[in-house]
Amino acid sequence: MLLRHTPTEIKERKALTVNPAKTCQPIGAMYASLGIHGCLPHSHGSQGCYAYHRSALTRHFKEPVVAATSAFTEGASVFGGQANLLQSIDNIFTVYNPDVIAVHTTCLSETIGDDIPQIVAKARADGKAPAGKYIIHANTPSYVGSHVTGYSNMVKAMVDYFATSTGAKTKAVNLIPGFVEPSDMAEIQRIAEVMGVPYIMFPDTSKVLNGPLTGKYKMFPEGGTTIEDLHMTGDSKGTIALGRTGAMAAARALDSKCKVPCEILDLPIGLQGTDAFVDKLRLMAGVNVPDVLNLERGQLVDCISDWHQYLYGKRVGVVGDPDQVLALTKFLVSLDMKPVHIVSGSPAGKKYVKALEEVVADIGEEVNIKVPGDMLLFHQWIKNDPVDLIIGNTYCKYIAKDEDIPMVRHGFPIYDRMGHSYFSTMGYRGAMRLMEQILGVLMDRQDRDATDITMELVM
C-alpha cells in the first residue's frame, strides 16, 4: 500500500503537482540530440539538472548516455553563463571532439537570460569552434511545457540549423518521429524500406540507445542521423511528421524554410494509425504497398478477430505523453475497449483535448480527461471508478499494485522492464505486440482469479 496516502475525495489543486506525469524540457532535448550522429548534447546550466537527465535516460535505456554541462557556479548564475559556455565549447572540442554540440538551456540559464547564439558566435570568432564542427541550440526552459516540448524544440533546431535547399528536389521523404523509442524509429524506417521509399529520418536514436555490446565504450555510437542527411532534408520531396506535440514544429519549420510540404499524422500506433502512415507514405513517394506489409496488416486483423472477445468492453486507464496517449486511445477504442480515465502530464492545448474527446465520444461511458494532469488525480479516478487495465509508464505500478489492477508499461520512463527499446509498438507488428502485452496481463489475471471450476486450458 505504497500510495495509501491517496485520498478518494478529489479537490481542485492549483498550486501543486503530486506525482508528476511529465518531466522537464532538457531531458527531451538531450534525447533528441542523441539522435544526431556524432553529437554531444550540452546542458547549459548547473550540473545537477544534467546529472538527473543523464541518470533518467540511463535508467530507461540501460545504455551509456553522455552529455556535457556548463557546470554553473554561483558566479555564473549572477553574471551570466557566457564564460562557462565558451570554456565548455573549447574543452569539448579539445577532449571529446564531437561533430556537433547541441546546446539546450535549463531553467536557470533561461531565467538569467543567456543568449546562446550570441555566445556561440563569440566562440566562433574566438576560434574555439574548429571549422567543419557545428554548434546548435534550443531554448528549453522547464517552467514552460514538458520533456516533449524540449524534444520538439531540439528537433526543430535541427531544421533551423541544418536544413538547406539547393533548389534541386530529391525523391526522399523526411520522416520525423515524436518522442518515441529507438525501436519505434527503427520500425518506422523498416516500413519505409519495405515500401522502397527513400527517406531521411531525424532524429534517429536506433543503434544509439539500443546498441550492441562490442567490448568497447564508444562515446559516439554508430547510429544517428548524419549532418549530411540533415542538410539534405531541405531538398526532400515532402515531410511526414508523426505526432503533433513532438514532431510538428520541425515539419512546419522545414516547410517555411525550404518549402518542403508536410503532413502531420498521429503516431502509427494500431491498425488505423499505421494505415494512415502507410497510405501517406505511398502517396507522397508514389509507390505501391508491398505484399509483406499487406501480409502483416492481415495478420494483425486476424489477431484482433481471434482475441476481440477478451478485449471487448474492458475499461482502461491511460496515462502518458500527449501524442502517445491520443494514438493509443484510438487503438484501444478500435479494439472495442473503453479508455475511461485519460491523463497526460504535458500540456497540449485545447485542440488536443478536443481531439481526444472525439475519439472516446462513442464508447458509451463517461470519460475523465485531464491534460495536463498528474498521477495523483489518475489514481484518485481509478480509486473511485476502477478499471480492468492500466497503461502507462513505470510509475503506474504503484497504482496497479495498490488497486490490484493488471498493467501494461508504455511510454516514458520505463525503469523496471526490458523490451521497450528493442521491440516497437508501432506499425502492424507493433500493434500485435501491444495486443500481446495487453492480452498477456488480462489473461494472467483471469488465470490467477480462476477457481478450479472455471480454470480453462484453451483460451
Q: Does 152 bind other proteins (CB under 8 A)?
A: no
Of 104 and 338, nearer to ligand SF4 (C-beta) is 104
Q: CB of 141: closest distance to other proteins in angstroms?
A: 7
Choice from 29, 65, 285, 363 touching other proteins (CB under 8 A) = 65
Cα dihedral sign, 324-325-330-334:
positive
The answer to whether the CB of 391 falls within 8 A of the CB of 442 is no
Of 42 and 280, nearer to ligand SF4 (C-beta) is 42
Beta pairing partners, 318: 342, 391
Of 234 and 345, nearer to ligand SF4 (C-beta) is 345
What is the pattern of x (binds other proteins, CB under 8 A) and - over residues 367-386? --------------------
Q: CB of 168: closest distance to ligand SF4 in angstroms?
A: 41
Residue 169 grid coordinates = 528536389
Of 142 and 245, nearer to ligand SF4 (C-beta) is 142
- Which amino acid does the sequence have at 433? R
Residue nearest to ligand SF4 (CB): 48
User: Which of these segments, 19-27, 174-182, 327-335, 443-451, binds other proteins (CB under 8 A)?
Assistant: 19-27
Q: CB of 110: closest distance to other proteins in angstroms?
A: 9
Q: CA 197 to CA 201: how far, in whole Å?
A: 12
Size, binding site for other proteins by CB under 8 A: 83
Q: Answer with the entry of ligand SF4, other proteins, none that 380 interacts with (C-beta below 5 to 8 A by kind).
A: none
What is the rounded (10 degree) CA torsion for 130, 204, 202, 393?
-120
The residues, any chain, with a CB within 8 Å of residue 171's CB and separated by 6 or more, are 198, 237, 285
Of 372 and 427, nearer to ligand SF4 (C-beta) is 372
Segment 187 to 226, residues that bind other proteins, using CB under 8 A:
211, 213-219
Q: Contact residues for ligand SF4 (CB under 6 A)?
A: 24, 26, 46, 48-49, 52, 106-108, 142
Bond from prior residue into 347 cis (ω within 30 degrees of 0): no
Alpha helices in 163-226 (DSSP H): 182-194
Segment 67 to 126, residues that bind other proteins, using CB under 8 A:
67-74, 76-77, 83-85, 87-92, 94-96, 106-108, 111-112
Q: CB of 121: closest distance to ligand SF4 in angstroms?
A: 24
Of 54 and 156, nearer to other proteins (C-beta) is 54
Alpha carbon 377 to its chain centroid, in Å, reads 23
Q: CA 84 to CA 87: how far, in whole Å?
A: 5
- Which amino acid does the sequence have at 379? H
Residue 326 grid coordinates = 491520443
Residue 347 grid coordinates = 500540456
Closest by Cα among 328, 149, 137 to 247: 149
Q: CB of 64: closest distance to ligand SF4 in angstroms?
A: 20
Of 25 and 274, nearer to other proteins (C-beta) is 25
What is the chain's alpha carbon radius of gyration, rounded to the nearest angstrom?
23
Closest by Cα among 300, 346, 299 to 321: 346
Q: CB of 261: closest distance to other proteins in angstroms?
A: 33
